[in-house]
Chain A
């Protein structure tokens, strides 16, 4: 019993989970309609796209790097997907092509960081501009509506009473969890984040691992982009703007350190849900949208602060 208690207290996610609970309690006090099944499902559905976008980024951040291009990668792939769909390209083909574009963006990012050795912050910020620029060129200021129903199901459909986007993101979470925690690839991702020099001297294929992490990040970005398009049943070049740096925030709030080597998918899931809850409750209570960004910002800062504070305490325990 005591052991279990200690294990829970030492677990890296305690404080993240506690913050989530805290947030839920506050929210249910603020509004009785928060803690209803339908609202909870709405939250999960809203969170599922943010979560998908943050999944690959989690792997990249664990390697000690960053990818700031996820948002515009999602917009670009979503727009291209929509363009193809209205040109009667089969749904599966359109999606596969979009995902391949995401993959290419990821590989280029990985190449810039791993081979040319640009700082990931700068390289992926540049890629962010390139991708959003491409999206604008492709759309030329236009908006595409009215996508085939077969496609929009992945955004608005249900299996029983569970929205499909939740299922897709849930399955991807599981896959990423297993990849990162239970495979040699995942282990190498962490080892690179801990100390890339030592990883190189340990004959770990650093470049390959880094490329794979970035490529994966591009793929989840594209998946998120197509889901977003399906959900909106429309696409325009600026559609991922609301996500922007929230994607990075979800990862970091969940306890994945920008230093590398620490954190994981579980934290990102909770981070994405917390971010979604804040917006959700503010909408329910009717907070002026001008104040919403302000509040989200404060919560992000608080969460990262708590994480860093508890991490240093936990580190003292573990060593």
Chain B
């Protein structure tokens, strides 16, 4: 069989970085070819070159043995290459159906009038195939959760009926159940002889769907291997170029004194009802649940972004119910939101400004700002978190997804609050960096900070938490101590409530 896609000696440079250096790649019909590598290795860049979103400096791309040189993603799409980007690209004010059929809406015969009814039916059908029949296709997508939006993106790519689909970290925002139905679709696509390029940091997914794996490191092609040829550890070492141990390290420490107490809080939208929890100093407390269970909503409520309908919140014993973020940060509460592009970062602002956004008043208490001191502080975080960038003066937009996430983390580290809510802290982060973030959270806990961690990755939340609350449909369905952690039990509570 002939490959449908061949990439030869591809090189792509950005000012100060060689994002791709002589990379090769090929893809057979009906194959899932996985791209792996650390944050900034060049995976997204390679995908975007194939898609025509970036123009490479040199190298060739062949589609079914014909040399192609797409100038825009639209051109690539016309030739049968679709993509689901790492960052969501939907139009927030349009509903799911309008987004899926954007620019190719079904019309009444012989007219230019959009057939809304047909569009809705087709959109529902597509989503039903993805087991997402409960997504409201008539609501503007900005009112939907990240995971739901992601499923709509996937439905959109599939609906185009392409020869090749590129998925850039499609599951980063999904919960296990959604991942499962997504994988079922992938198997169907494979049967239809569609070639799939799949970028992911989640190794356990590779066994489920992968055929071959190509490893990139620092923009260079390292190796292509068959799925299962190497163990996970060997693969990680190949990606990182050094040996790392993949374990969740928790240093035992005593949890003395209450840091955060939440009593019977509810929100006005009805997404959180009568929830209570406690986080002690030195503890990492997990908040598990399906996507849509209300975990992020609860965090927003605690951080004062949304208004309380009822209930009380205490920080270090002091009541802070109804206060806004500025007040709460001064009292020592931090919140790392899950949507880094919309809520975590000002992508057009320099990295250094982003890192200092929360702590600005602390760094410069006398009203005047020194850019060079700001840069110095940012440089320290760039070093300690290994953020891959030539300069902190660059816009945050220029960073790879994982490195953007690290900037958000740096921002909250520099704020140095003693209670931190992490919402999906390792989303889109490579294994090496994940381990660093786990180590960091562990260190924060042993320094006596209190951490509330929201995560959709079962392994991670089991590995890192001292205790865990499980949310189901807006309420706390259960509370488990570390000794009793068991994936089945947790999963059951997440699905069914207690």
Interface residue? B369 (CB, 8 A): yes
User: How far apart sit A296 and B442, CA to CA, in the bound complex (Å)?
Assistant: 63
A188 CA / B369 CA spacing, docked (Å): 11
Q: Using CB atoms, name the residue of chain B closest to A179.
A: B367
Does residue B348 face the partner (Cβ distance < 8 Å to A)?
Answer: yes
From known contacts A194-B348, A318-B395, infer whether A188 and B360 are also in contact, taking CB-CB under 8 Å. Answer: yes
Residues of A close to B356: CB separation below 8 A? 187
> Which stretch from B313-321, B324-332, B451-459 is at the chain A interface?
B324-332
* A183 within 8 Å of B (CB atoms): yes
Assuming A187-B353, A191-B346, A191-B357, is B325 touching A200 (CB within 8 A)? yes
Measured CB to CB, the closest approach of chain B to A169, in angstroms, equals 23
Pairwise interchain contact B15-A317, C-beta atoms closer than 8 A = yes
Task: Give chain B residues whose Cβ lies under 8 Å from the Cβ of A202.
Answer: 325, 357-358, 411
B139 interfacial contact with A, CB 8 Å? no
Q: Which of A183, A186, A187, A201 contacts B343 (CB 8 A)?
A: A201
Docked CA distance A190–B360 (Å): 13
B367 engages A197 (CB within 8 Å): no
Interface 1/0s, chain B 288-310, versus A by CB < 8 A? 00000000000000010100000
B122 → A minimal CB distance (Å): 32
Shortest Cβ gap from A147 to chain B (Å)? 37
- Across-interface contacts of B347 in A (CB, < 8 A): 194-195
Q: B479 — which chain A residues lie within 8 A by C-beta?
A: none
Task: Give per-residue flags for A178-190: 1 if the beta carbon is below 8 A from chain B beta carbons, else 0.
Answer: 0000111111101
Minimum CB–CB distance from B247 to chain A (whole Å) comes to 32
**By the criterion CB–CB under 8 Å, are A187 and B360 in contact?**
yes
Contact A195 B367, beta carbon cutoff 8 Å? no
| Residue A205 CB within 8 A of the other chain | yes
What is the minimal beta-carbon distance from A311 to any residue of chain B, in angstroms?
11
Q: Does A116 contact B (CB under 8 A)?
A: no
**In the complex the two chains form, is A184's CB within 8 Å of B305's CB?**
no
Within 8 A of A (CB), among B327-375: 328-329, 335, 337, 342-349, 353, 356-358, 360-361, 364, 367-369
In whole angstroms, how far apart are the Cα atoms of A184 and B329 in the complex? Answer: 16
| Residues of chain A contacted by B337 (CB below 8 angstroms) | 201
Shortest Cβ distance from residue B358 to the other chain A in the assembled complex, whole angstroms: 5
A182 / chain B contacts, CB cutoff of 8 Å: 368-369
- Given A187-B369, A194-B346, A201-B337, are A319 and B394 neighbors across the interface (CB < 8 Å)? yes
A201-B353 in contact given A184-B360, A188-B360, A318-B394 (Cβ < 8 Å): no
In the assembled complex, B398 has its CB within 8 A of some CB on chain A: yes
Residues in A with CB closer than 8 Å to B358 are 202-204
Q: Tell me which residues across on chain B come within 8 A of A185, comparing CB atoms.
A: 367
A-chain residues with CB within 8 Å of residue B345 when the two chains form the complex: 195, 198
B375 smallest CB distance to A (angstroms):
13
Q: A199 contacts the other chain (Cβ, under 8 Å)?
A: yes
User: Are A190 and B349 interface neighbours, CB within 8 A?
Assistant: yes
Q: How many residues of B contact A (CB 8 A)?
A: 34
Q: Which residues of B contact A184 (CB under 8 A)?
A: 360-361, 364, 367-369
**Is A114 located at the chain interface by the 8 A CB criterion?**
no
Q: Does A261 contact B (CB under 8 A)?
A: yes
**Of B342, B369, B395, B398, which is within 8 A of A183 by CB?**
B369
Q: Which residues from chain A contact B328 at a C-beta distance below 8 Å?
A: 203
CA distance A92 to B470 in the complex (A): 66
| Chain A residues positioned under 8 Å from B326 (CB to CB) | 203-205
- Enumerate chain A residues within 8 angstroms of B394, measured Cβ to Cβ: 318-319
Which B residues are in CB contact (< 8 Å) with A315? 395
Q: Which residues from chain B contact A204 at a C-beta distance below 8 Å?
A: 326, 357-358
Residues of A within 8 A of B357 (CB): 191, 198-199, 202, 204
CB <8 Å contact, B368 and A199? no
CA–CA, A190 and B371, complex, Å: 14
Known: A204-B326, A319-B395. A198 touches B344 (CB 8 A): yes
Interface hits, A41-69 → B, CB 8 Å: none
Measured between beta carbons, the chain B residues less than 8 angstroms from A198 are 342-346, 357
Chain A residues 242 to 264 lying within 8 A of chain B, measured CB to CB, are 261-262
Bound: A170/B357 CA distance, A: 31
CB atoms of B343 and A203 under 8 A apart: no
How far is it, in angstroms, between the C-alpha of A186 and the C-alpha of B411 when the chains are bound?
Answer: 19
Tell me how many residue pairs across A and B have CB atoms closer than 8 Å. Answer: 82
Separation of A201 and B335 alpha carbons in the complex (Å) = 8
Is B397 located at the chain interface by the 8 A CB criterion?
yes
Would B360 and A194 count as touching, CB distance under 8 A?
no
Within 8 A of A (CB), among B24-80: none
A319 touching B369 by the CB < 8 A rule?
no
Tell me if B397 and A201 are in contact (CB < 8 A). Answer: no
Q: Which residues of B contact A318 (CB under 8 A)?
A: 394-395, 398
Residues in B whose Cβ lies below 8 Å from that of A262: 348
Chain B residues 73 to 128 lying within 8 A of chain A, measured CB to CB, are none
Bound complex: CA A187 to CA B374 (Å): 12
B residues near A183, Cβ cutoff 8 Å: 367-369
CA distance in complex: A187, B328 (Å) = 21
Q: In the assembly, what is the distance between CA of A199 and CA of B344, in Å?
A: 8
Q: Mark B395-419, 1 if CB is under 8 A from A, else 0.
A: 1011000000000000100010000
User: Which chain A residues in 236-289 approach chain B with CB under 8 Å?
Assistant: 261-262
- Residue among A190, A191, A203 making CB contact with B325, cutoff 8 Å: A203
Asked if A197 and B15 make an inter-chain contact with CB atoms under 8 angstroms apart, the answer reads: no
Residues of chain A in range 182-229 having any CB-CB distance to chain B below 8 Å: 182-188, 190-191, 194-195, 197-205
Q: Which residue of B lies closest to A318 (CB)?
A: B395
A208's closest neighbor in chain B, by CB? B326
Residues of A within 8 A of B335 (CB): 201
Known interface pairs A183-B367, A197-B342, A200-B325; A191-B349 also in contact (CB < 8 Å): yes
For the complex, give the distance between the alpha carbons of A238 and B42 in Å: 61
Q: Shortest CB–CB separation between residue B405 and chain A, in angstroms?
A: 14
Give min CB distance, B341 to chain A, whole Å: 9
Q: Which residues of A contact B14 (CB under 8 A)?
A: 319
Q: Are A199 and B346 in contact (CB under 8 A)?
A: yes
Q: Taking the nearest CB of chain A, how far is it from the CB of B396, in angstroms?
A: 9
A261 partner, pick from B349, B367, B368, B398, beta carbons under 8 A? B349
Question: In whole angstroms, what is the CA distance A244 to B415 when docked?
Answer: 44
- The listed residue (B349, B364, B398, B411) touching A194 by CB distance below 8 A is B349
B353 surroundings in chain A (CB, below 8 A): 187, 190-191
A13-33 toward B: CB 8 Å interface, digit per residue (1/0)? 000000000000000000000
Closest to A202 in B: B357
A182 to B329, CA, bound (A): 23
Min distance, Cβ B5 to any Cβ of chain A, angstroms: 27
A201 contact from B15, B305, B367, B369, Cβ within 8 A: B305
Interface pair A201/B344, CB less than 8 Å apart: yes
Bound: A204/B362 CA distance, A: 12
Residue of B nearest to A201 (CB): B343
Chain A residues in 8 Å Cβ range of B368: 182-184
19 A–B contacts, CB within 8 A, in A order: A182-B368, A184-B360, A186-B369, A191-B349, A194-B349, A195-B342, A195-B345, A197-B343, A198-B342, A201-B305, A201-B343, A202-B358, A203-B326, A204-B357, A261-B349, A315-B395, A317-B15, A319-B15, A319-B397
Extra A-B contacts (4), CB below 8 Å, given A186-B369, A261-B349? A183-B369, A191-B357, A194-B349, A197-B343
The 7 closest A-B pairs by CB, nearest first: A194-B346, A319-B398, A203-B329, A202-B357, A203-B325, A195-B346, A194-B349
